[in-house]
Structure 1
Amino acid sequence: MSATATTERPRRSRHPVDEVLPAPRLFVYGFQHVLAFYAGAVIVPILLASAIDLSTEELIHLINADLFTCGIASIIQSIGFWKVGVRLPLLQGVTFTAVSPMIAIGLAAGGGTDGLLVIYGAVIVAGLFTFFIAPYFSRLIRFFPPVVTGTVITIIGIALLPVAAADAVGGAGPTLDPPSGRNMAYALGTLALIVVIQRVFKGFMATVAVLVGLVAGTLVAWALGDAHFDSVSGSSWFGVTTPFYFGWPKFSVAAIVSMVVVMLITAVETTGDVFATGEIVEKRIERDDIARALRADGLATTIGGVLNSFPYTCFAENVGLVRLTRVKSRYVVAMAGAIMIVIGLIPKAGAIVAGIPHPVLGGAALAMFATVAVVGIQTLSRVDFHDHRNVVIVGTSVGLAMYVTAQPDVAKAVPEWAQIILGSGITLGSITAILLNLVFHHVGRRRGPAVAGTPGSLIRLSDINAMTREQFVDTFSGLFQGPTWVVERAFDQRPFRDTRDLRQAFQEALFSATTEEQLLLVNAYPDLGAEAVAGGDEGEGSLRDQASLGLTRLDERSHDELSELNHEYRDRFGFPLVTCVRDRDSYAQVLRHGWERLNNSPSQEHAAALVEISKIAAYRFDDLVADANPIHSARQRIVDVDQMA
């Protein structure tokens, strides 16, 4: 063996998140993020300045300071250092949750710059608070299973759609033109162009579809006289924000408490955004990731208070852009941060970006925000909705979120401190999902884990260990099709120390049986897509298994395809094709997997059938369990996190 061969080591593949793209592509992708982000970035200082009566010059400084600090915060979050920054393609922006509380704080302090100084004092303290509680908050990750994170992500996407719709019709506000057919044409034209580019082109063009849509829409609007860049000539070439530009901050206990509550709520939203981005870039999110993200939020918020800006959080708007473009590199967001720093230093550049018409921005935002909701729906697809408690959690949370989103004035019916919660559909929906998950899945755990039954009649591990053989078989016979010898032999392994011990007892009984017994069990399972399954003749377990991918309601062509596969498989091996349908993503994957298994040897297929039966039993066991039951992948993640705690 040569010296070269002994010293060479295989290179570890780099995750797409850590890929450093060529500089030109980095700039283009980063600029696309800035364009998609800009309107949302400047809306908070605009709303605040109007509410607390700041001058135009003060507003311009707030916008420049906001963009400058957004850039710094985004670099911190995406690049990271020490234990700060999640190192994902997450852009940082001022949280909308803070708007109402900041206005209330500013007005209570007399408005103007006096109110602004009290706001900054509260922002600085709340940022430090968030930074230091980050590792403790991250330990709550086990309370964020897919039923919670999926709900929160879906709500974020849906609740932001009215913002996009308001831009699409020309913007929200009394000074803007009323809705018109021309505005609709700009919005729908921009959206249509993005869709066409995504459909027709591949590679680079597909990834910059949003950028092309924004530029093309703006050029058309400018040619027709609806995009104006008059403010560019009146803006200076250079302007920098200095620390404490408006004066030294003032500290009010009431203001600080309000802002701390805002940051706690924002931490929930950040957690949802991190999980959403993790889903998109296919990177596992762990407890330390949440802690790093929240530390970055806290540090950015503190910097914001010093540099005349506001509380920061991961910006959900750009989560949708990552999903839409499929560009996963975090260095793209770092480039966007650098561009925003430059824009924050050059008011003329900011004025050019500000010239993009609202309807054009709205058309692009409709695609991006809806894509965030799609990510949430993908996460919810991993939730067991046969468990009615999960239906209640999702339904109630989404319903309340839409209640205050569609009717924002309802917040005026409660005291000002409660408006922090009722003033935002994202906030109310997120808190509702978390609380309902606690109530349905965690309250009462000290009595021992529930392993079967219904919420009204739970069967706990102590009850299992006290059962007779007949009671045990009656409770768990549905885990397996046909003969009950697997369950009977599992009973002989009592007492069970925990739920995992009980699961392993079934597996041990299954795989230690004789070949003849195993073949009898395999032959008890019905064909995929069989009419007997759809009619319920093969039991509730088989019906639920196959209905998960619609095998009980196939069209005639698909039914014939599956029947042919079943026939070929039986002829080849002498027993039915057994596959864990719930482990597959689609009917097509079930079909492809079945045909591939025809190439195996009889001995290999015998073993494969037993493995599939074990998986089916695991899912059916989950259906019995009355405690929290995310699907296997999510459950494993929570187990790993608990073990780290």
Structure 2
Amino acid sequence: MQQEKNVHPVDEILPLGKLCAYGMQHVMAMYAGCVAVPLIIANALGLSKDQLIYLINADLFTVGIATLIQSFGFLNMGSKLPVVQGVSFAAVTPMILIGKNFGIQGIFGSVIVAGLIAYLISPYFGRLIRFFPRVVTGTIITIIGISLLPVAVRWAGGGVPGTPGFGSVQNIGLALTVLVLVTIFYRYLKGFWSNISVLLGLIVGTVIAVALGITDFSRVASAAWFGVATPFAFGMPIFDLPSILSLTLVMLVIMTETTGDIIAVGEIVGKPVKQQDLVRGLRADGFSTLLGGIMNTFPYSAFAQNVGLVSLTGVRSRFVIVSAGVILMLLGLFPKAAAVVAAIPTPVLGGAGIAMFGMVAASGIRSLAQVNFEGNGNAMIVAISLGVGLIPLAVPTFYQHFPSWAQLILHSGITVGSLLAVLLNFCFNEIGKKTVVAEQGQTENH
């Protein structure tokens, strides 16, 4: 009994029913983002509908494995925190360029090598953790939350700005209804039911969408009952050095974002991340990306979208994410089940997303509230990091005349903001620190 009391909430194993419900909530919250990259790549390369379906199933199955590795741990990999893995959007543009020159086999070859390199350099990258004090992590968490909000807003409007029906009263009304429902469920329900307020909002919102006639279940009927992803299904990978270098640069960006996400989750769940935890988490990114190339999918990283759900519900058990990983694998094996989840309208996701991503920003603000801003440069660290980090959010074309390799980094506000926060903290709080301590020591000795 004493041992159970000493178990950290992150390592608590909840009853099976709760694990499944909480896990499904995470899956439904991240599903749209999870399948978006295969959709974009398939459309850009002109792949057939069957090939697109195969890519989505392979992605779901492999992302389930990647999530299990990250949350449960495997060999020397995995942060063992409630962190969901997903396909990174940072790699989309370079992958499209690679695909147009070398086909999808060129993408997979570059992904394999870039993942291997990321795995090998993880121990060196993990040493950066000492440069992430609370003023840095609080700033990063805030930037993550604010940067994700436009995703929820686009979902609430109906998907992509400019498409027919985007921003209609019906779409926005449905999104607001879901947001209100999530708020009511969270406020007035108790315990378990309050913790699944997002899931309940998604379910009720989908039922309302069915009644309004805006839910499309046609894919369910046409989807296969069972399908297994096999390695190198599109042919043997092609290894091109410039393509490999471009995706390796992407992996450095992804590792920077993952570092921020893992530290953010550790902050939210009350389990500070140590250097070895971070190294294991980054190794999981690298290995999962390598595995993704083999299994016909793309680079993986910690999914920031789900950080908001952890913050909103307060459910800290990593075994909830383990259950989400298992559900994702099953969805990858049973396309009909995946098609049912895919039928959730984007406005419904948008209403829930506003609450989830807003909670990430709120967690960052709460963390910054504990930072000392008197007699130091911490206010300037937060101000500049937020200001520059949000430039791509305010004006997406701001860096359009920069070289493509620079745009790769600058277009990610989370990456730029994180790098600036670390650099400014080093300038304001690290440089001269040892000198001051040494001078104080000499004064005391005299």
TM class by shorter-chain length?
over 0.9
The equivalent residue for 1:172 is: 160
Question: Residue 91 of structure 1 corresponds to which residue in structure 2?
Answer: 84
How far 1:78 sits from its partner (Å)? 0.9
Is 1:494 aligned with 2:418?
Answer: no
Corresponding residue for residue 436 of structure 2: 450
Residue number in structure 2 paired with 1:386: 374
**Which residue does 1:235 correspond to in 2?**
223
Q: 391, 402, 420: which is aligned to 1:432?
A: 420
Q: Match for 1:291: what amino acid?
A: V
More off after superposition, 202-211 vs 177-186: 177-186
Which residue does 1:261 correspond to in 2?
249
User: In the alignment, is residue 73 of structure 1 matched against residue 24 of structure 2?
Assistant: no
Structure 2 counterpart of 1:226: 214
Instruction: Report if the CA contact (8 A) 2:157-2:166 is conserved.
Output: yes
Contact 1:191 1:364 in 2 (8 A): yes
1:406 to 375, 391, 394: 394
Q: 1:330 aligned to 2:318? A: yes
- The within-5 A match list for 1:132-531 is 132-172=120-160, 174-443=162-431, 448-450=434-436, 461-462=438-439, 465=442, 493-495=444-446
Q: In structure 2, give the amino acid aligned to 1:450.
A: V
Contact 1:275 1:285 in 2 (8 A): yes
CA distance in 2, matches of 1:58, 1:224: 32
Shift of 1:444: 5.4
Report SS of the residue matched to 1:185.
helix
Given that residues 146 and 383 in structure 1 are in contact (C-alpha distance below 8 angstroms), is that contact kept between their aligned partners in structure 2? yes
CA distance in 2, matches of 1:435, 1:17: 31
| Distance change (3 Å), C-alpha of 1:228 and 1:463 | closer
Aligned-partner Cα distance in 1 for 2:377–2:93: 33
Structure 1 counterpart SS, 2:230? coil
Cα deviation, residue 106, structure 1:
2.3
Give, as a single letter, the amino acid of the residue that structure 2 aligns with 1:147. Answer: V
Q: Deviations over 1:83-114 (max 9, x none)?
A: 2111111111011211222223223x1xxxx4
* 3-state SS of paired residue (1:93): strand
Distance in 2 (alpha carbons) for counterparts of 1:219 and 1:134: 45
Q: Is the 8 A contact 2:160 2:166 kept in 1?
A: no
Change (3 A) 1:28 1:9: closer
Cα deviation for residue 66 of structure 1 reads 1.0
Match of 2:50 in 1: 57
Alignment partner of 1:128: what SS? Answer: helix
Contact 1:170/1:176, CA 8 A, preserved across alignment: no
What TM-score, normalized by structure 2, do the two folds share? Answer: 0.96
SS of the aligned residue for 1:68 comes to helix
CA displacement at 1:15 relative to structure 2: 1.4
Shift of 1:390: 1.8
Work out the CA distance in 2 between the residues paired with 1:277 and 1:285: 9
CA 1:387–1:66: 2 relative to 1, 3 Å: farther
Q: Secondary structure at the match of 1:411?
A: coil
Return the alpha-carbon distance in structure 2 between the equivalents of residues 247 and 102 of structure 1. 17
Give the superposition deviation at 1:241. 1.3
Please tell me whether the aligned partners of residues 154 and 161 of structure 2 are also in contact (alpha carbons under 8 angstroms): no
* Distance (whole Å) between structure 2 residues aligned to residue 390 and residue 55 of structure 1: 52
Identity of aligned residues (%): 51
RMSD over equivalenced CA pairs, Å: 1.8
**Relative to 1, partners in 2 of residues 1:346 and 1:464: Cα closer, same or farther, differing over 3 Å?**
closer
Asked if the contact 1:101–1:259 (Cα under 8 Å) also holds between the matched residues in 2, the reply is: yes
| TM-aligned CA deviation for residue 388 of structure 1 | 4.9
Choose 187-196 or 375-384, whichever is displaced more: 375-384
Q: Can you list the C-alpha shifts for 1:275-318, whole angstroms capped at 9, x where unaligned?
A: 22112221121111101101111111111010011111111111
Tell me the CA shift for residue 425 of structure 1: 1.5
- SS of alignment partner, residue 166 of structure 2: coil
Cα deviation, residue 437, structure 1? 2.3
Q: Deviations over 1:345-397 (max 9, x none)?
A: 11111111111111000000111111111121122223222245222221111
8 A contact 2:399–2:410 mirrored in 1: yes
SS of the equivalent of 2:86 reads strand
From 119, 122, 132, the counterpart of 1:131: 119
Which one is further off, 258-267 or 283-292? 258-267
* Divergent runs of 4+, >4 A: 8-12, 173-176
Q: In structure 2, how many angstroms separate the alpha carbons of the residues matched to 1:78 and 1:178?
A: 36
1:195–1:464 Cα change, 3 Å: same
Distance 1:387 1:101, change over 3 A: farther
- Contact 2:376/2:428 (<8 A) preserved: no
Structure 2 portions without partners, runs of 5+: none
- Alpha-carbon spacing, 1:250–1:387, altered in 2? closer, same or farther (3 Å): farther
Instruction: State the shift of 1:231 in Å.
Output: 1.2
Larger Rg: 1
Whole-Å separation in 1 of the counterparts to 2:426 and 2:2: 48
1:596-635 C-alpha deviation (Å, 9 max, x unpaired):
xxxxxxxxxxxxxxxxxxxxxxxxxxxxxxxxxxxxxxxx
Find the aligned partners of 2:44 and 2:429 in 1 and give their Cα distance. Answer: 43
Secondary structure in 1 matching 2:390: helix
Task: Look up the match of 2:35.
Answer: 42
Q: Is the 8 A contact 2:144 2:360 kept in 1?
A: yes
- Give 1:32 deviation, angstroms: 0.7
Aligned twin of 1:104: 97
- How far has the Cα of 1:424 moved from its partner? 1.7
Name the CA distance, whole Å, in 1 between partners of 2:223 and 2:38: 18
Q: Sort the Cα spacing of 1:423 and 1:353 in 2 relative to 1 into closer, same or farther, 3 A.
A: same
Q: Which residue is 2:16 aligned to? A: 23
State the distance in 1 between where 2:399 and 2:91 align.
Answer: 15
Deviation at 1:176, TM superposition (A): 4.6
Deviations 1:431-460 (A, max 9, x none): 222222233333456xx4235xxxxxxxxx
- Partner of 2:13: helix, strand, or coil? coil
Q: Distance in 1 between matches of 2:236 and 2:439?
A: 62
- Counterpart code for 1:116: I
In structure 2, how many angstroms separate the alpha carbons of the residues matched to 1:138 and 1:391?
26
Any conservation in 2 of the 1:128–1:299 contact (CA below 8 Å)? yes
The amino acid of 1:91's aligned partner reads V
Task: State the distance in 1 between where 2:193 and 2:321 align.
Answer: 19
Letter in 2 for 1:212: L
Q: How does 1:571-590 map to 2 (within 5 A)?
A: none
- The CA deviation string for residues 190-225 of structure 1, in whole angstroms up to 9 with x for no partner, is 011111111111101101100000000000010110
User: Could you state the TM-score of these two structures normalised by the residue count of structure 1?
Assistant: 0.67
Return the alpha-carbon distance in structure 1 between the equivalents of residues 313 and 440 of structure 2: 52
Give structure 1 stretches of 5+ with no counterpart: 1-7, 452-460, 467-492, 496-645
- Structure 2 Cα separation of the partners of residues 281 and 145 of structure 1: 16
